[in-house]
Amino acid sequence: MTVAKDLLYRRSHEWARTEGDTVVVGISHYAQDQLGEVVYVELPDVGTAVNTGDELGTLESVKAVSEFLTPIGGEVIEVNERLEDNPNLVNEDPYGEGWLVKIKGSVEGEKLLDAGAYQEFLEEESG
């Protein structure tokens, strides 16, 4: 399982990457692997106000439908429209082209794990 070193993570397997006053959000390699092939992505509307831990949308795979949560509070300022036609980008490149949303906000004060702590969490979770 790949854990990108430059990201912060929630225990629910979403990641956050700060880009100025914007935070890019996606799901981890572990999460996409557990889901299997993603066939549909439901994203929030631009302009939606969110609080940390709110449901942002859903990912539908051949195995299941799973919600994804926001790692920070703020306002959704962009969604990855490419996922509409190619939801499998979540599987192919979860830390790059498969990002889900961009939120105007900050990771400051949020209870997120760095890559090392997230890797430890995954190892504990898998026993």
**Distance between CA 101 and CA 107 in Å, rounded?**
15
Residue 42, burial from CB neighbour count under 10 angstroms (0-12, 13-18, 19+)? middle
Please list, in sequence order, all residues whose beta carbon lies within 8 angstroms of the beta carbon of residue 82, skipping any fewer than 6 positions away: 89, 97
Residues (pLDDT < 70) of the chain are: none
pLDDT at 1: 73
pLDDT at 126: 80
The H or E element that residue 63 is part of is none
CATH of domain 8-125: 2.40.50.100
> pTM for the complete prediction?
0.95
Tens of pLDDT, residues 22-48: 999 999 999 999 999 999 999 999 999
List 10's β-bridge partners, or say none. none
Q: DSSP letter at 97?
A: T
Where do the structural domains in the chain lie, given as residue ranges?
8-125
